[in-house]
Amino acid sequence: MKTRLTALLGIEHPIVLPGMTYIAVPSLVAAVSNAGGLGILASGALSPDECRAAIREVRRLTNKPFGVGCSLMLPGASECARVALEEQVPVINVSMGKGEWVIEGARAYGGKVIATVSNEQHARSAIDTGVDGLIVTGHEAAAHGGQVGSMVLIPAVRDMTDLPIIAAGGVADGRGLLAALALGADAVAMGTRFAASLESPVHAGTKQLMVEKAAQETIYSPNFDTWPCRVMHTPGGRRFTARKLSPPVAITRSLQAARELNTPMSALAKDALSQGLTGAVKVAYFGAATLAMRKAIQEGDHVDGVQLIGQSQGLVHDVASVQAIVSRVMDEAHALRRRLAAL
């Protein structure tokens, strides 16, 4: 299946693994790229040295195109973006900030920059900076989807640009892929579906919850990490979204994360605090999100942990290999396209 995105990136299938923190690790990234899609490495919890090592590990596991995701507003993200440029990563996915300097750096070696956006205003800003494509994140998506559902947001952004669009939010099978293409997208991102794959590092108990949970069993709230965020409806999800996150709680959680994760996170927290109000938001992310996410993803703890999840969990019915998922999605999309053509 050829689209503007497959042509731009030199991939076989219009399917993308988004850069989900603690989930989009080198082994899963490489598995998706080897299956013909585009895997995007998560850099959010990595130091620059760890990011470089992860990029090189992806390259050891695949010779196919892949990307690195960098949320530029977060502490340490700019350093990881510079590492990605130095390593000449084929695709850099930027979000939460303008990345003109990333675009300039990538263009120097023929790399592509794709911006993640969640509304029309952000899409216009990204288009004006000169990005090569967009990941458009609808309300159904895990984590920080926008206020508008994919059914409306994708065609609204398509009306603004001819750039390749990757639709994120609500897609887990061939029906979603074909629907996204009909709406004007050129590919889909399937974070929740790939999180429940055999190659995913997510704890087996958490994968089983993804299979069991219905589409409506999520919580969309700004109380988890100060941005509107969709998480799984669990005891931890309810507790962490019950009330607005205050600066003292954010700082406390940040320090707790630094202790429990044994990382330089305390230094990052100090760096964020030095930046005033914007820095406080960054501290909230590291304090409220990082540790809780790790507990759910790596330990299967849904009392002290929180699993970011999309509504498409209601479409996940098994834990399968990445290759099986990609083949299933493409087969279903082709069969559905033939059926619709016959009507």
Strands 66-71 and 112-117: unpaired
Q: How far does Cα 113 stand from its chain's mean position?
A: 15
- Residues 77, 2: Cα–Cα separation, whole Å: 32
Report which residue type is found at 99. Answer: G
b/e burial code for range 257-268 (CB count within 10 A of at least 16 → b): bbeeeebebeeb
Residue 210 confidence class, pLDDT cut points 50, 70, 90:
very high
Residues 326-343 have pLDDT tens digits of 999 999 999 999 999 998
Task: Say which residue the tokens 């009909």 belong to.
Answer: 182
Q: What is the mean pLDDT of residues 181-210?
A: 98
Strands 38-42 and 15-17: parallel
Q: If DSSP codes are grouped into helix, strand and coil, which group holds residue 218?
A: strand
Residue 284 predicted with pLDDT over 70: no
* The pLDDT of residue 273: 53
Q: What is the mean pLDDT of residues 94-120?
A: 95
Residue 41 DSSP code: E
- Residues 311, 217: Cα–Cα separation, whole Å: 8
In 99-156, where do the E strands start and end? Answer: 112-117, 133-137
Instruction: Count CB neighbours of 110 within 10 A.
Output: 8
- Residues 285, 251: Cα–Cα separation, whole Å: 10
The length of the chain is 343
* The pLDDT of residue 208: 98
Hey, where are the domains in the chain?
A: 4-202+316-341, 214-299
* The pLDDT of residue 44: 84
Residues 220-238 have pLDDT tens digits of 999 888 789 999 999 999 9
> Which of 3.30.70.520, 3.20.20.70, 3.40.50.150, 3.30.70.1350 is the CATH number of 4-202+316-341?
3.20.20.70
Q: How far is CA 95 from CA 68, 114, 258, in A?
A: 11, 9, 24
Q: What is the mean pLDDT of residues 202-215?
A: 98
